[in-house]
A and B are shown apart, each in its own frame.
Chain A
Amino acid sequence: MSGGHAHHQLYLDRETAIHRLAPQCKIAAVLVFVIAVVATPRETDWPYAVYALALLGVAAVARVPALVVVRRMVVEIPFVIFALLLPIIARGPRVDVLGVSLSANGLESAFILLAKGTLGVVASILLAATTRPRDLLLGLQRLRMPETLVQIMTFMFRYVEVVLAEMTRMRIARESRGFQARHAGHLRVLANSAGALFIRSYERGERVHLAMLSRGYVGRMPVLVDVRSAPSQWAVAALLPLVAVATTAAAWVIR
C-alpha cells in the first residue's frame, strides 16, 4: 500500500492557464480522461501513444518538469512488480522470450496494465501539481461530494502533518532509548506507540471541535474562497478528456 509517502510539497506554484482553471473542471477532466483510458479496447496499442502525447501537452503548458513527475511515479512500483509477474502466471498459448516460456495473454495484459496504470498515475500527479490541496477539496465540494465527507478530508489534510510530527517525535523518543524493532516480540512497543498516537489524535480532535464551537461552528464551514467556474473554463478543461474519449471511440470503431 502506501509505504513512504513523503508528505512534502505536492503543488508547484506557477502562473499558467492550467493552474488558473477552476479545480472542479480539472478533477472532472482527469476523471473522464482516466475512464476513457481504462475503456480502451484490448486489441489496440496506438491509443496509448495519443494519451501520452496529450498528457505531455498538459505538462508542457503547465510547466511541470519531467523530473518532478518521474520522481513521484515511485508509487507505481507495487503494480509494476505485479505486471512483471503476469506473463509468468497467466494461462493461454506460450511464447518463448529469450528462452523463457511466457504466456502471450499475460504479456499483453502486462503491457496494458503498465500503460493504463502509468497514464492514470501521471494524470493524477499533474492534477495535484497544478491544483492547491485546498482548491482540490473545494472542487470536490463543487462536484457535489457530500459536505461531511469533504469536511473530514479537510480536517485530515490539515492535521496529518501534526499527527505525523507527533509520530516522528515518538519514534525519536523510542530510538533515543536504544529501541530498534528487530523481531515480532517488539510489536508490543510499536502497538503502544500506535495506541498513544490514537489517543492523542482523538483528544486533539475533541479540542479542535471545542475550539471551533467557541468560534461559532454550527456544523458547516464558511466558504471563504469562491471557486466558481465559467463555461469558458469548462471548455478549456474539456480538451484533454475530449481527446481521450475520441481516441477510445476511434479505437473501438477501427479495431
Chain B
Amino acid sequence: MLQYDLVVVGGGPAGMAAALQAHEDGVEKILVLERADTLGGILEQCIHTGFGLHYFGEELSGPEYAARFSDALYKTNIDVKVDTMVLDISAENVVTAVNNFDGILTVQAKAVVLAMGCRERPRGALSIAGSRPSGIMTAGTAQKYVNIDGYMPGKTVVILGSGDIGLIMARRMTLEGAKVKAVCELMPYSGGLTRNIVQCLEDFGIPLRLSCTVIQTHGKERLEGVTVANVDEHSQPIPGTEEYIPCDTLMLSVGLIPENELSKSAGVTLDPVTNGPVVDEYRETSKKGVFACGNVLQVHDLVDYVTEESKLAGAGAAKFIRNEKPAGGLVSTAGANGVRYVVPQRINRQTDRDVKLYFRVGKVMESVMLSVSCGDETLISRKKRKMAPGEMEYVTLKASDLAKLPEGAKLVVSTREA
C-alpha cells in the first residue's frame, strides 16, 4: 500500500488549488488522482473568457485559468496520476483507485480532500414526454463535442434551462452557425449570471422565454422538434399555450448535482440542501481528516470562489496533518427567511481566521436587509440592493467576534424587508 500525507480526489480547479495550498503549507507527500487524461477538470472545455476576474484580476479563458494551476503544480513534487478513477475511500482513509498502469492501487492517506466536482442533471431527471431520438443532450456534453472534439452536434437548437452553461452554449452554437431558436426557463427568472444573459442571448437576439418549459420531444431516429408551453406559478404547463418548435437538437441546462458517491461511501454527512458535505470553516467534513471543496461541496458560479474555498481546504488539511487545526467548540450556521443554505455549516469558535459565510437565496430579492444574528444579538446587518438565486453571496465574520460566541451557539443568516 502507498503512503501519502494527503490524497486529493479530483484534479480540476478545486483539487489543484487545495493540493498547491497544502504543498505551500509544508505538506510533503501529496497525491492528486484525476479521472480524465489531463488536469483542469471542466475548465478544459470552458473556452469562453471571464475566469479569474476576482482571483487574478484578469479575464482568462477556462484552459488558461487551469494552466496557471497545473503549470504551478507540475513544478512541485506533488504526485499526479491522471486517467485514474477513485473507487472507494474507507473509514480509515484508505483510498482505492484504478488505472491502466497500476491496476488497482490502494493509498493510505493521513488526510483526504474531496474535489470531485459536480455533474449535470440529465434528461432522465425531468418528466419530458417523447421517445429517445439522438439530438437530446446536456449543454455540457454539447460543449465538449464542440470545444474539445471539434464537431457540431446540431443545426437548429432549443435550450431548456437558463443556467450559465446553457447560455454559454447558446452563444457558442450561434457563433458556429447554428440557429438557436429559444432558451426556455421554467422559473420566472434566469438561473444564469446577468452578464451571460446580456452577452450570450441579447447580443444575438436569442429569445429567453421565462416560465416556459419543454413538455414533449418529437422524432424517432433524430429529434425533429419540441413542444414548449408556458407554466403557471406551480410550474405546471398551462393548457392552450403549447407551441411546436422544429429543431434537431435539445440542450439541457437544468442544474448541477455535486458528485458525492465517494463521500457517501466514506461515511461523510451530506447537507440535504446543497447535496454536498456538511463542513467547518476549513472545509473539514463530518469525518476527521476528510475535507471537501469546489462544486462537490456546493455548486459555485465562479471558479475564483472555488479556488478561494479550495485553498482553505488545503490549508485545513495541512493543519490537520500537523495536528494544529483549531478546536474549542463548534457553533452552527443556518439560513432563514429566504436564505436557502449557508456554507460552512459549522465553525470552530477558536478559529484563527475570519470566516466567510457563503449562501444563496431562494428567489430574487430587491432592497432587503441581510443580517447574521445569534439569538437576539445581530452581529452583521447590511442592506442589499439585489440578490438572486443564480449568484452566490457571502458575508464575513471576524474571528474575534466568533470567539465571543458561546459553544453550541447558532448563527442565522436571514433577510427582511428594508
A, B bound: no
Q: Which residues of A contact B (CB under 8 A)?
A: none
Q: Which residues of B contact A (CB under 8 A)?
A: none
